[in-house]
Structure 1
Amino acid sequence: MKGLVVAGTHSGCGKTTIAMGLMAALKRRGMKVAPFKVGPDFIDPGFHKQICDRPSRNLDGWMLSKEYNQEVFYKNSHSCDVAIVEGVMGLFDGYDGRSEAGSTAEMAKWLSLPVLLVVDARSMARSAAALIYGFENFDSELQWAGVVLNRLGSDVHLQFIREALEGHVNIPLLGGVKRENSLNLPERHLGLVTQDENPLGPDYIDHLADLIEGSLNLDMLLDNLPELDIPKIPRKQETHQKTSVRIGVARDEAFCFYYQDNFDLLEEYGAVLVFFSPLHDRSLPSDIDGLYLGGGYPELFAEKLSENRGLIEEIKKLGDNGLPIYAECGGFMYLTEGIEDKSLNYYSMAGIFPVRIIMLARLKSLGYREVTLKASSPLGSPGEKIRGHEFHYSEIKEITGKIDPVVDHNRVNLVYQLSDRPGLKIRDEGYMKKNVLGSYVHLHFGSNPRIAENFVRVCHEISCSMLRKNET
């Protein structure tokens, strides 16, 4: 098995397009491609999955340990021909200016993968050689797979830069991609439009593959990639007893932000995941023991979500009756009194949490978060820690009811203490009423797999308790 990291000189240089094009071209050659994404992003992995016909996993140097990243990479690539890891931001961009922590370069070294550097060559000629020379010599521990020049103006432009590289840079130049607006993906406030609502059509994917095949020397790239020594991942000893529960998962155009590892871990601990659509389904799946409402864009579909009152009322009734429900970001917004959009239109939602949400024109919150549980919840006991990410353009406009910092099962309580990446406390958060827990933070269960185990266990215990109550 071979692999590489697709990294850029900076954000916006075209590494997503190049990475997707490589995936499409190699898959069309009949190769099994294992896709990965560095960082907490949800959108790019969705596109990877559509191209490669297999889930893309997130790798992250802060949310997840080095060992966890390595295990996820090895476990999900060992049966493939090539692994392609799309980086984040610029190659060396991490948490600060002093170290490589959190950077794509750090991940490349953790996984022993060579780097394919994407350079935006627009408005540059000989200067591109100086830029590439700097990247090559900045960190002597990195391995290099090659350089791709993006957004070239012409064949002459490519030749200028090729000549400039000769005698100065040792990284092989694999070719260049000319400027082409037809490849641009639409964007919105949380990033690119998702594959759930605007799937990449087969014509687009074929066009990507054609572009890469016609622009880059893929045979040279593959020949230069070393064979990876994939260690055998020892089977984990089953120290826990699997508990079979059915967890309903909201998944459609409005709710599409999930880490694949979260699904994997829930299933590992015995959950059967049953997907449903708050937009299109009129009722929940039958016989569910819990609900998982992920993030996405409920504000863009607020009117349609609000009009589906039967499903909303069913969720509220189950929550009021004690069903374990975990909701994050968009899912949390769905469980509030309602959402006010930027045009001041108000749409009522489930009303489990007595707050109203307003959409903002500016980014409200962005960054890594560590959650410390202050009280028992469906995710665990007091003191349990888990890491995640926060990214949203909305805020709580109005609190319409009682929110108590002291735990009272029948009121809404704050059960999270949030800290940022450096460890500074930001605020108390994590809204819980009975067994319904909602937050703006997207949690990665891989940072603490006990969280997945706890949620499955609580779903089982509450389900058994509710069943006994119904029988008496």
Structure 2
Amino acid sequence: MTVVPRLVLSAPSSGHGKNALAIGLLAAFADRGLDVAGFKIGPDQVDAAYLGLAAGRPGRNLDPRLVGTERLAPLLLHGAAGAGLAVVQGSMGLYDSLTGRCETESSAAVATALRSPVVLVVDVAAMGQSVAALVHGFRAYDEQLWIGGVILNRVASSRHEALLREALDDIGVPVYGALRRQDLPAVLPSRRHGVVPVLTGAGEATRAVRRLGEAVAATVDLERLLGLARSAPALGVPPWSPQPAGADGGAASPSGAPRPVVAVAGGPGGTFSHVETVELLRAAGAEVVTVNPLTDESLPAGTGALVVGGGLPESYVEQLSANRRLCIAVAELARTGRPVVAEGAGLLWLAREVDGLPMCGVLDAIGSLRDGMVVGYREATAQSDSVIAARGEVVVGHKEHRGVLAPRGGPRPAWSWPGGAPEGFVWRGVHASQLVSHWAAYPHIAARLVAAAAAGPDAVAGAPAAVPVTPAPVAGGPTSVAGGPAVAVGPAAVPGGSAAGPDSSVPGGPNGAGSGREPVADVPAAGPTGGPLS
């Protein structure tokens, strides 16, 4: 039985300030010397990254749709090993879910699975005694849920605070803190930057986290809140482990061969993939080395495979395009048949061009960024044998992107789902798609990838050596680099294919997260304050 003090921080809806408050709580406790861990409910890697920056250890996602409810508690125990407090930030409102499956996928459902007390963050700027009715309603809606108290945000004055506290005292709900209107300023870097400020150690991100920690420390009763977290019962499950069953560490291959080098896109502060992806790769026997696609001009020495995770922001296409040396190196890696796995915006990076900017040219497709946001989960079936899946395998993934490719998929597409045209590209060792999965639910992906990297280019699954290799021209003429050889940007993965034509991820299909076609949801690219959305 493992006991981890823990809290789920939620709110009646988005916009109450729980994201800034969760970051501030972690920073405040860490500043007091407590070892803390941060988690984000749902697929949002940006929020998770800032929670990790505040905690001083990687932030992680707990998404019941992506990993399954049964893995939530084990993943929390794994990510919070040795911590004196785990703070789990909810998504949307307490009883909401993106898919409408509130009984299994809402923040309330996750809190129940984690046997965790919930602290409700309430924006009371336009509220008086009604706060008691609101909180009472949330508490009574599900009597199985443990609402341990509230934190009040945007309190107007001392008199306003006294009124609110008295109303909540009447219904027996503790108040753990009250923040004034100006206490949680919009100091986080714009969401358009994604996880980049965290991965690069940007001073703006560090200062913002420190500022939020100072605000919370001055307004929240940390000791009482920690006491509530310590009252959470033990979780009767073992921690999740990246190690295969019966393995003792995966330090090297059984034959004693050197560990294959797998380059994972990221920066000094982490990668664009979920933290568990790197842990699984190492457990499978890989030497994992980080490569920054924005600044590094070459792949790490001896790279046998490349993984570009779904956290790479689409807004950085200009910087990706400008790094021509690395584009050429990635194209050469793909041309030789080495495994290259790209999720999310990584698919755009492998394209011929995006909005007229040359990319790696591995895929004979043209991308563009549009105003509408495609958001939703997909239950996808693998359409081709590849380095990460066998044809017919089913995974659940998440899509959140503005970029679209034409064509949407290659002759050997990566995935399909009901109601939508096949999507993504499989070519030699390349598997590229805008679908982002959580590898903790599919640990065999890492094992399969590392095995392909160790076996070499001739052994990649489903990669016939006779695939035509056609240089992919890019705007601006030859793809030579000053001081380097005149190398083509990359092979065209769709020989003879057209880069023109409609893409089914643009408006026209049914609109909704559960739709098989690609809805363009009315989701803003940034929160109203410019910080991460809650």
Q: TM over 0.5: same fold?
A: yes
Equivalence map 1:243-262=2 (5 Å): 243=253, 244-252=259-267, 257-262=272-277
Shift of 1:294: 2.1
Match of 2:245 among 226, 237, 246: 237
1:175 paired residue number: 177
Q: 1:89-119 deviations in whole A, cap 9, x for unaligned?
A: 1111025557422101111111110001000
3-state SS, counterpart of residue 251 of structure 1: strand
Q: 1:378-401 deviations in whole A, cap 9, x for unaligned?
A: 0021222222210001112468xx
Does 2:326 match 1:311?
yes
2:376 paired residue number: 367
Match of 1:352 among 334, 352, 362: 362
3-state SS, counterpart of residue 108 of structure 1: helix
**Greater mean alpha carbon deviation, residues 88-97 or residues 274-283:** 88-97
Q: Is the 8 A contact 1:386 1:445 kept in 2?
A: no
Flag structure 1 segments of 5+ consecutive residues without an equivalent. 341-345, 405-412, 419-423, 467-472
Distance 1:139 1:193 in 2: 39
Question: Percent identity, aligned pairs only?
Answer: 31
* Letter of the 1:348 counterpart: P
Q: Is the 8 A contact 2:189 2:204 kept in 1?
A: no
**Greater mean alpha carbon deviation, residues 354-363 or residues 63-72:** 63-72
Q: Is the 8 A contact 1:78 1:230 kept in 2?
A: no
Distance 1:176 1:302 in 2: 42
* Letter of the 2:47 counterpart: D
Q: Is the 8 A contact 1:3 1:228 kept in 2?
A: no
**Greater mean alpha carbon deviation, residues 79-88 or residues 255-264:** 255-264
3-state SS, counterpart of residue 376 of structure 1: coil
3-state SS, counterpart of residue 302 of structure 2: coil
Q: Is the 8 A contact 2:197 2:205 kept in 1?
A: no
Equivalence map 1:54-73=2 (5 Å): 54-73=57-76
Shift of 1:207: 2.7
The TM-score, its normalising length taken from structure 2, stands at: 0.77
**Greater mean alpha carbon deviation, residues 347-356 or residues 302-311:** 302-311
Match of 2:430 among 429, 433, 436: 436
Distance 2:196 2:414 in 1: 33
Equivalence map 1:207-286=2 (5 Å): 207-225=211-229, 226-231=231-236, 233=238, 237-238=245-246, 243=253, 244-252=259-267, 257-286=272-301
Distance 2:432 2:87 in 1: 34
Distance 1:70 1:155 in 2: 40
* CA spacing shift, 1:39–1:296, aligned 2, 3 Å: closer
3-state SS, counterpart of residue 353 of structure 1: coil
Higher RCO (CA 8 Å, separation ≥ 6 residues) = 2
2:335 paired residue number: 320
3-state SS, counterpart of residue 315 of structure 1: helix
Distance 1:450 1:166 in 2: 52
Distance 1:188 1:219 in 2: 32
Q: Is the 8 A contact 1:416 1:428 kept in 2?
A: yes
Distance 2:313 2:73 in 1: 34
Distance 2:116 2:313 in 1: 38
The TM-score, its normalising length taken from structure 1, stands at: 0.87
Shift of 1:425: 3.9
Q: 1:223-264 deviations in whole A, cap 9, x for unaligned?
A: 2330542547277632697643210112149x9632111111
Q: Is the 8 A contact 2:439 2:446 kept in 1?
A: yes
* CA spacing shift, 1:202–1:247, aligned 2, 3 Å: closer
* CA spacing shift, 1:464–1:382, aligned 2, 3 Å: closer
Q: 1:193-224 deviations in whole A, cap 9, x for unaligned?
A: 85236555554333322221221222222223
* CA spacing shift, 1:199–1:142, aligned 2, 3 Å: farther
**Greater mean alpha carbon deviation, residues 146-155 or residues 241-250:** 241-250
CA RMSD of aligned residues (A): 2.6
* Letter of the 1:17 counterpart: A
Q: 1:419-438 deviations in whole A, cap 9, x for unaligned?
A: xxxxx443311201111111
Shift of 1:460: 1.4
Provide the aligned length of Structure 1 versus Structure 2. 443
* CA spacing shift, 1:90–1:26, aligned 2, 3 Å: same
* CA spacing shift, 1:323–1:224, aligned 2, 3 Å: closer
Distance 1:221 1:337 in 2: 52
Distance 1:259 1:122 in 2: 36
Match of 2:116 among 91, 113, 120: 113
Distance 1:281 1:67 in 2: 39
Shift of 1:305: 2.5
Shift of 1:337: 0.5
* Letter of the 1:91 counterpart: L
Q: Is the 8 A contact 1:10 1:91 kept in 2?
A: yes
Distance 2:191 2:210 in 1: 25
Which is strand-richer, 1 or 2? 1
Does 2:455 match 1:445?
no
* CA spacing shift, 1:178–1:381, aligned 2, 3 Å: same
1:396 paired residue number: 405
Distance 2:266 2:338 in 1: 19
Flag structure 2 segments of 5+ consecutive residues without an equivalent. 254-258, 461-534
